[in-house]
Amino acid sequence: MPRLAGIDIPERKKIFFALQYIHGIGSKVAKDLLTEVGVDPDRRANTLDDKELSTLAQAIDSAHVVEGALRRQTQQDIQRLKDIKCYRGDRHRKGLPVRGQRTRTNARTRKGKKRTVAGKKGIKG
């Protein structure tokens, strides 16, 4: 199995799609990397020789933050927002949507499973 940037990439897929298995590399970056190195995007990952793999790995390491370093950087950015107690940091801390989305409905991904509040309907006065 070929390894790039410290991660195993699928060998039977085309290299264009195999590169996107690396956290931090999407379709645009994968296309740019392949044109920079001069590898055909339609070739399978297992057909690349060691020289091409090493030049690809070198291009990724020199220009892009990927995998663990990117995850760590993202976590540090979120922690900084929490530490300075800004609005976005408070939303992260409470587990609510951060970018201004509504929460009355359609926030289940961030809020988690529904929890029923007892005694809301039955009170008559």
Is the pLDDT at 117 greater than 90, yes or no? no
For the stretch 24-45, pLDDT in tens is 999 999 999 999 999 999 999 9
Q: How long is the chain?
A: 125
Residue 19, number of CB atoms within 10 A of its CB: 25
Is residue 120 classed as helix, strand or coil in its secondary structure? Answer: coil
For the stretch 41-53, pLDDT in tens is 999 999 989 899 9
Is residue 3 classed as helix, strand or coil in its secondary structure? Answer: strand
For the stretch 42-96, pLDDT in tens is 999 999 898 999 999 999 999 899 989 999 999 999 999 999 999 999 999 999 9
pLDDT value of position 44: 93
User: What is the C-alpha to C-alpha distance for residues 79 and 91, in angstroms, rounded to an integer?
Assistant: 12
pLDDT value of position 122: 62
pLDDT value of position 124: 65
Domains assigned to the chain: 3-63 (1.10.8.50), 68-111 (4.10.910.10)
User: Could you tell me the CA-to-CA distances from 113 to 8, 66, 88, 110 in Å, in that order?
Assistant: 34, 32, 22, 9
